Structure 1
């Protein structure tokens, strides 16, 4: 699905936020998701992306804006250049934000047809909590990385 860029800026239900950098939205309760964010930050020292848990107000509003249910988190989202990337494309986009050699994974992933990539994504998404667990509270960043989180900027 293709989206027009920056449509959320005209939606009064979406609080304004700094969208000058790509925003990676993840499930803050999911151990796999939170670990993935920590992994990305460790390999992206220049801070090419900003992160936010879907449980926060701006990401929740963005999910609703794009017709997604933030309470039934079933897709990771990367918001870049005003457009949302969902499911398999979000993983590829997130990898593409990283420095080499990690961005090569994003390029390789984009070569996989969406129907196959989304099927793999959906399988992992359905099983992530059973395989990796969940936290009662969202991942809490330490002082060194707080500036990388939308809600803490």
Structure 2
């Protein structure tokens, strides 16, 4: 597994999460990220290595190998910072304490299946995108 790429772990059956991953892929001009569904074998292994319990952390997770991992709004803002461009402006929200930012994050996460729907199985990447998925 590549250790130089940041890894985005996402809920593979969530329509909002899948759309978010597609959004990031289109804007990842520097090829910074790799992706894995939380439900996948790789995702489960990465979670276990970091002792992350997904029953307590209902979140997108950004792993910066050898540095740290980020969850919830911290992960989203770190991803925006890497995408750059106008999305870099969103990192101004880092000035707001994570406990306050995560109230909004948790509200959306709690309702994401009801609002955006859910797939029966994880997304299968197209042949062109397969190299970006672990």
* TM-score higher than 0.5: yes
TM-score by length of 2: 0.89
**Does 2:134 correspond to 1:145?**
no
User: Structure 1: where are the runs of 5+ without partners?
Assistant: 1-16
Cα distance in structure 2, aligned partners of 1:141 and 1:109 = 31
- Greater Cα offset, 107-116 or 130-139: 107-116
What residue is the counterpart of 1:97 in the other structure? 82
Cα shift readout 1:71-94 (whole Å, capped 9, x = no counterpart): 676111000143110111011111
Cα RMSD for the two superposed structures: 1.7
Could you tell me which runs of 5 or more consecutive residues in structure 2 were left unpaired when the two chains were aligned: none
Within-5 A mapping of 1:1-153: 17-70=1-54, 74-82=58-66, 83-105=68-90, 107-150=91-134
Q: TM-score, normalised by structure 1?
A: 0.79
Which whole-Å CA distance do the structure 1 matches of 2:57 and 2:99 have between them?
20
Tell me the number of residue pairs that the alignment of Structure 1 and Structure 2 aligns: 133
